[in-house]
Structure 1
Amino acid sequence: MSLASVGELLRTWKKMPKVENMPSIAIHNAMASPNVKYIRWKVHGDWVTQLNYYDSMKIIISSSNHEPTALVIGKEQNSWHGGCAMGTTNIKQKMETIRNVREHVRSKKCQAAHALPQRRADCDQTVFCVYKGVKAFSFCKRKNLLLTGGKDRIIRVWSPYLPGKPTGMLRSHTAPVIYIHIAEENRVLSMSSDNTVKIWDLETHSCCFTASSKASGIKGELTACLYLPGPRALCVATDTVAFLHLKLRPVPESHLELSHQEPVVCCGYNPTFRHVVSCSEASMVKVWDCETGRQLSEFVGAHGHAGITCLTFDSSGRRLITGGRDGCLKIWSYNNGYCVHTLQHEEEKSEICDCTYMEVNQNKCIIAVGWDRRINVYFDVPRDFHHFWKPQPCWQDDLNQGHKEDILCVAQCPPFLLATSSYDGEIIVWNVISGHMYCKLNTPGSSYGPDHGEGPDLSVSCLAFLKTRAVKLDSVAASLIANGPGGSVNFWRLFSGASLGANFTPSTGKAQVSCIAVTAGDELAYLADQQGFVHVYDVQKYGLWGSELQAPKKVTFWRAHVSTVTALELIEEESILLSSSLDRTVRLWSKDGAHIGTFGQKSLWDIFTPVSWSHPRVPFESLTDPQSMPAHLVLDIDAPDGHTAERQEQERATITEEETRPSNLQSPEDSIVEAEAKVDREQWSAFSHGRSVWENMPEPGWPRIYQTLRCHEVACVSAPGEKPDVSAIASDLFHVNVLTRDREAALPERSFLPTAVSPPEL
């Protein structure tokens, strides 16, 4: 439709009757105006799903769900009657065409609007036939590439001049593709109807990044998408509008030791073979020797293009069980990477979030939870040689009173207790033997929710039983630990009226607790958060006799990683701690926080020989990360949240001064130095207002307080380029030294920086 005299035309249309409070005019009525040129032509055999006009090439590209005409590239014609946007540069011919169209419109009027549109000649268009049609496409003139996506979940790469066969296919989406955009740096952004966003590399045709709807927070039915090149953000419209900013990960520095090239999502320790197994977002599994840190084996594509989310071992330790975003559990002989069994539903392929291996009445089973909101139990039958296993029927209580939101975590307490937690903060404790619900806990609300009035994030993503209390069925003691909103940790009583026994927040920065590990005797609890810190608390008597109003005693804390800790496991027999993080590292620590090593580093270690452990005892990136820096008055100004959180942690400690000095220092200057050191400590105490270094510093021999130097102006400075006085050469130097020491002893005050002294006169 071409409009002339737009201002006058719109003023006329504004007076038309309103439909849904907006002036509206039908096309056949608009055609009667001499200022409107209207044409249409037949292109597709079904609904048009997308339409773009490219002015630089004077072409129109449209797509449809109709397979034979899934995508059509139409060339510009020199005539309006031919069915395209603009006319020829020949003004006389153009005016003649317009005059003919006007006469035709006036004669036909409304009848012309209902006439059948004409089809274009084959030479004027290029037709692409695509299986199940095309819902979205993207064209890049600079790269001369055309990408299409549709119901078959495959993104096809085409040359616009070769419609017969695509030059490449991108496979990873699990739902129809409804948006594609070719961005800079050979990247392609795509989105599917399940609100999953993917980023592709055009050179390798591989998927670089996947963001699920849970990770991006996009909810509701997708209605529109638009990539904004300026802020490099993807604008997604559903029930609300979301902006997903594209941030490229920096190239890792050469001195950093990495265990994986992708974020590590889980890791575990196998006590049978003394192996550590870690899994990354790229569906890669690596096996390490725990005693030395040497890599033993690896295999890729464990769950195809889907990422791994969790892992566990069977009771014998000979098999590895992994869960993935493809909704499958897989049992591996992980030494050679052979998949022994695949466990999944027949139809449902909901993401698995967590799994555990449990023995109940001499029956061995694998329990998996995830987005299907059900507890799936698979019996481990060694005599079953079928490759695919199906879950057992769901418990009746699970169907009637189970979780209403996605289940994020599962924890067991032999012989019969099982706990699960969900996205809405609900925790349910089950009796595995009977399949009945034992009790239900609801996480209390918090004021630490996100902004914009959406309410707090109540999701509970990690659980841990205090097993010495749970097996006694003690009604008073808190028997279950769970994370909560705003970085809090909740201690729950499970028996004789389930209730909240205690609540505290480990990090003053309110970083969400991401992992919980408890020692075998329930003496210590290790809490890791999304900032990479590990906090150790003494919980042996905490919540043992009722509710607690204060936090338990903090034993120590340290910065283990610079990103979210995804797994934390205690290896009791060796008194070491295993951790993994999204910063692509897997590390070993002593129980007090000494860094043993990072899996993948060049130098190996021996866990039984502390001398071979990593040096420095804090990883380099943890030392240099801004959130690890100690608090200082200068840093208080415009400090980010991470600095504030760390500073508040340090303010909890108290300054410890060492007043005693060795008795063997008998020099006449000792009294002066000792007095000045005491003054310095007093000035530092007054300056810091209670600040101190970390009270539980893992490195022995580090100073307990900061040392300071008082700076004085130099009394006299030699002129630049002044020749030195060499008159003292060949003199009696002993006599000169005696005179100099006598002169210095007569000085009333001694500074830390030496002042310039004139040459002695002989």
Structure 2
Amino acid sequence: MGKSSASLALPQRRAECGHTVFCIHKGVKTFSFCRTKNLLVTGGVDRIVRVWNPYLPGKPTGVLRGHMAPVVYVHISSEENKVFSVSADNTVKIWDLETHVCCFTASSKASGIKGELAACLYLSGPRALCVATDALAFLHLKVGSVPEPHLVHSHQEPVVCCRYNPTFRHVVSCCEASVVKVWDFETGRQVSEFIGTHGNAGITCLTFDSSGRRLVTGGRDGCLKIWSYNNGHCLHTLQHDENQSEVCDCTYMEVNQNRCVIAVGWDRRINVYFDIPCDFHHFWKPQPHWQDDLNHGHKEDILCVAQCPPFLLATSSYDGEIIVWNVISGHVYCKLNPSSPVDGQDHREGQDRSVSQLAFLKTRATKLDSTAASLISNGPGGSVTFWKLFSGAGLIANFIPSRGKAQVSSIVVTSEDTLTYLADQQGFVHVYDIQEYGLQGPELQAPNTVTSWRAHVGMVTSLQLIEGDDILLSSSLDCTVSLWSKDGAYIGTFGQNHPWDVFTPASWSHPRVPFEILTDPQSMPTHLVLETDAPAGCSGGQPEQDNVTEKKVLFETEKTPHLPSPEGPIVEADVKEDGESQWSTFCHGRLLPARRKPRWKAPELKWPSIYQALQCHEITCVSALWEKPDLSVIGSDMFNISLCSQERAAELLGRKELSPWSSFLPEC
């Protein structure tokens, strides 16, 4: 206020730290600044569009070349992640901000923009670029989905496990190459990844802590690691001093306000690591083993662990033994042994009896229901078993969900114990209604089937229900992680080019299915003919049933009439004699693997009905003896002279009456 008016009229020079100067050859005619992406885009007479970091004026972060005239307009569309540029020759270009490549070019002739360019404006609402020349033109942006390659892979190696994190709405997947990838659940885009989590050893299992902020992984190196998976920083390493054996499964559990990580594996012991927030040491040691675990625990490698708060824990081993533990006391609650013969099945020596999947029916287990089934497990021969745990543990039901008797590789149950999802080694997912199943005691029949579909071409390694969104998450050894609706509608595979919106079914890939499933021979729908002759890869390969089917096919073939042959009955007899060997060869060929031989059955030797509508005429046999014509007759027609004797005509008439096609031949 004390300064004179003359001093106020003089321009004040800005301080050097108060402004940034961008030195651009030939100057700038237009620019655009995006605050959300913190980007500056410039265009000028040199026909180059430059992308700048506003705080680094020395060198552009991107140089976009392609215009043939000076650039007069640029605009950054943060919603589309694109840059729009217009040159003086009325050419419009769209650039991708991530790859710095030109996505689309609209020439003046193609777009119909004529005259001298006066002004441009991009409208974000309708996603249209307004160009004013002699007339006003609106160029609407229509973004089409990028066509997917034939095979979409989420990982380069087989995926061994995946889990959904409800805290951050992320999906975390791990592969055998010890690579962890984090995906956005709602769009399918990859968020981050970190490699070498367990060195050269592969990952076998993963889980989250109760807050969802930390990731716990177990590996073949025998240790567990706790990660801040957003930045890939290893917080703690959990291992014991003994020989390091492979960790097969782990779970995070809260017992009496104490939080712990429980791990099982090849050491045949239950290792409990307490999660103590005040313990900042990098290496954590397990608690002393339970006395019952040392004296009455598993005798073989432990493959699976499942929990049922507040105090139940179930483990299963390679020999088929299932032990239910009281976590609070560390005592054995009950033991289940499904290795005994079930439904007349004789378990031969060397047969795989391992139980690798367990799932509690928690609404029944927490009520301590004495008659209802409270635990589900897989078993040998593709079977699934329901067990009761209270007032005398025992078997409630046993059935085989897969028609090919494939081993069940994953089991999940809805929160209200109304549905169970069973996935097998052939990639199929079977859904059963178990709301009333096994409530009143033993069941002789399998539960009602709700739906079934094929999710992967390889073994399904993980299943998880995201019930708040009615979504099913699955991973497989075919290197894919996919999302499905609860009814089996295909949403997409993580790693595909175009994203999806999980809340918008129109953006899902349904009704399309993954390409590899569409082309796989085992994906053929069930049919009466196919079910009687299934390949060994799908039928379990029982030789007795194959022999019965083979004899039935041979019997039906012998009853089928053969085609009358011009070579006489000798050829027909040869065909009948060789028929048995040919069909036997075909039946043995069905035992080839499904990937080498498609699932099909040779049709029965019956003539199509269309042949019955054809008119058949007798043709003179070319092997008949010819008689020398009488050339003495002058003026007679040579072609009216009969070339067959009366005896030969009678022989042809007799053959016609004996032929099976005589009813269809016209009267001559």
- 1:266 is matched with 161
From 473, 476, 497, give the equivalent of 2:368.
Answer: 473
- In the alignment, does 2:220 pair up with 1:325? yes
- Tell me what 1:529 maps to: 424
Provide closer, same or farther for how the CA distance between residues 565 and 636 of structure 1 changes in structure 2, counting only shifts above 3 A.
Answer: closer
Q: 1:361 aligns with which of 250, 256, 259?
A: 256
Report the Cα distance in structure 2 between the residues aligned to 1:436 and 1:452, rounded to whole angstroms: 30
TM-score (norm: length of structure 1): 0.51
1:371 maps to what in 2?
266
Choose from 270, 278, 299 the match for 2:173: 278
From 288, 292, 305, the counterpart of 1:393: 288
Q: Secondary structure of 1:574's match?
A: coil
CA contact (8 A) 2:321 2:339 kept: no
Distance 1:508 1:555 in 2: 15
Equivalent-residue separation in structure 1 for 2:456 and 2:295 (angstroms): 42
Contact (CA 8 Å) 1:356, 1:410: kept in 2 or not? Answer: yes
| Partner SS, residue 468 of structure 2 | helix
2: CA distance, partners of 1:441 / 1:447: 13
Secondary structure in 2 aligned to 1:602? coil
SS of 2:294 mapped into structure 1: helix
Check if 1:432 corresponds to 2:327.
yes
Letter paired with 1:330: K
Kindly state the Cα deviation for residue 509 of structure 1 after the two structures are TM-superposed.
1.2
Aligned to 1:177: none
Post-superposition offset of 1:319:
0.3
Whether the 8 Å contact between 2:406 and 2:538 is mirrored in structure 1 is no
**Kept after mapping to 2: 8 A contact 1:450/1:457:** no
SS in 2 for 1:323: strand
Structure 1 residue 287 corresponds to structure 2 residue 182? yes
Residue identity matched to 1:379? F
Sort the Cα spacing of 1:494 and 1:453 in 2 relative to 1 into closer, same or farther, 3 A: closer
Q: Which amino acid aligns with 1:470?
A: A
Give the Cα separation in 2 of the matches to 1:342 and 1:714: 80
Give the length in aligned residue pairs: 402
How far the C-alpha of 1:638 sits from its partner, in A, is 6.9
What is the aligned partner in structure 1 of residue 463 from structure 2? 568
Structure 1 residues 301 and 518: alpha-carbon distance in aligned structure 2, compared to 1, 3 A threshold = same
Task: Please tell me the residue identity of whatever aligns with 1:461.
Answer: S
Cα distance in 1, alignment partners of residues 343 and 518 from structure 2: 29
Larger-gyration structure (1/2): 2
Q: Could you report, residue by residue, the CA deviation over 1:397-448 in whole angstroms, capped at 9, with x for unpaired residues?
A: 1011000000000000000100000000000001111111111111133589
Q: 2:231: which partner in 1?
A: 336
1:490 — aligned with what?
A: 385
Q: For 2:457 and 2:346, how far apart are their aligned partners in 1?
A: 25
AA paired with 1:521? E
- AA paired with 2:179? M
Once the two structures are TM-superposed, the CA of residue 347 in structure 1 deviates from its matched residue by: 3.0
Which blocks of at least 5 consecutive residues in structure 1 are unaligned? 1-252, 649-709, 717-762
Give the gaps of 5 or more residues in structure 2. 1-147, 546-607, 615-668
- Are 1:531 and 1:562, in contact at CA under 8 Å, matched by a contact in 2? yes
Equivalent residue letter for 1:599: F
Q: Give the 3 Å change call, closer, same or farther, for CA 436–638 of structure 1 in structure 2.
A: closer
Who is 2:140 aligned against?
none
Choose the corresponding residue for 1:596, options 482, 491, 506. Answer: 491
Match of 1:513 among 381, 393, 408: 408
Counterpart check, 1:406 vs 2:301: yes
Cα RMSD of the aligned pairs, angstroms, is 2.6
Q: Secondary structure at the match of 1:621?
A: helix
Whole-Å separation in 2 of the counterparts to 1:640 and 1:477: 38
TM-score, structure 2 as length reference:
0.58
1:630 Cα deviation after fit: 2.6
Query: Aligned to 1:555, what secondary structure does the other structure show?
Result: strand
Contact kept? 1:291, 1:607, Cα under 8 Å: yes
Of 527, 530, 552, the residue aligned with 2:447 is 552
Counterpart of 1:419 in structure 2: which amino acid? A
Higher RCO (CA < 8 A, seq sep 6+)? 2
Are residues 639 and 442 of structure 1, via their aligned partners in 2, closer, same or farther at CA, if it must alter by over 3 Å? closer
Aligned amino acid, residue 360 of structure 1: V
Partner-residue secondary structure (3-state), 2:368: coil
CA deviation map 1:669-704 (0-9, x unaligned): xxxxxxxxxxxxxxxxxxxxxxxxxxxxxxxxxxxx
2: CA distance, partners of 1:263 / 1:609: 30
Partner of 2:70: none
Cα distance in 1 for partners of 2:470, 2:233 equals: 32
Distance 1:366 1:455, change over 3 A: same
Whole-angstrom distance in 1 between the partners of 2:502 and 2:441:
40
Find the counterpart in structure 2 of residue 93 from structure 1: none
**Aligned partners of 2:150 and 2:516 also within 8 Å:** no
Alpha-carbon contact 1:332-1:338 (below 8 Å) kept: yes
Does structure 1 retain, via aligned residues, the 8 Å contact 2:489–2:510?
Answer: no
Q: Which amino acid aligns with 1:263?
A: P
Q: How far apart are the structure 1 equivalents of 2:345 and 2:399?
A: 19
Letter in 2 for 1:340: L
Cα distance in 2, alignment partners of residues 355 and 527 from structure 1: 20
Runs of 4+ in 1 over 2 A off after TM superposition: 444-456, 615-618, 630-639, 641-646, 710-716
Q: Which residue of 1 aligns with 2:11?
A: none
Query: In the superposition, relative to structure 1, how do residues 508 and 632 fare at CA in structure 2: closer, same or farther (>3 Å)?
Result: closer
Are residue 299 (structure 1) and residue 194 (structure 2) matched?
yes
| Distance in 2, Cα, partners of 1:383 & 1:304 | 28
Change (3 A) 1:381 1:624: same
Q: 1:645 to 1:587 in 2, by over 3 A?
A: farther
Could you say which residue in structure 1 is the equivalent of 2:566?
none
Give the C-alpha shift of residue 632 in structure 1: 5.4
Distance across 1 between alignment mates of 2:319 and 2:409? 16
Distance in 1 (alpha carbons) for counterparts of 2:612 and 2:191: 62
Give, as a single letter, the amino acid of the residue that structure 2 aligns with 1:593: G
**Alignment correspondent of 1:74:** none
Q: Report deviation, 1:331.
A: 0.2
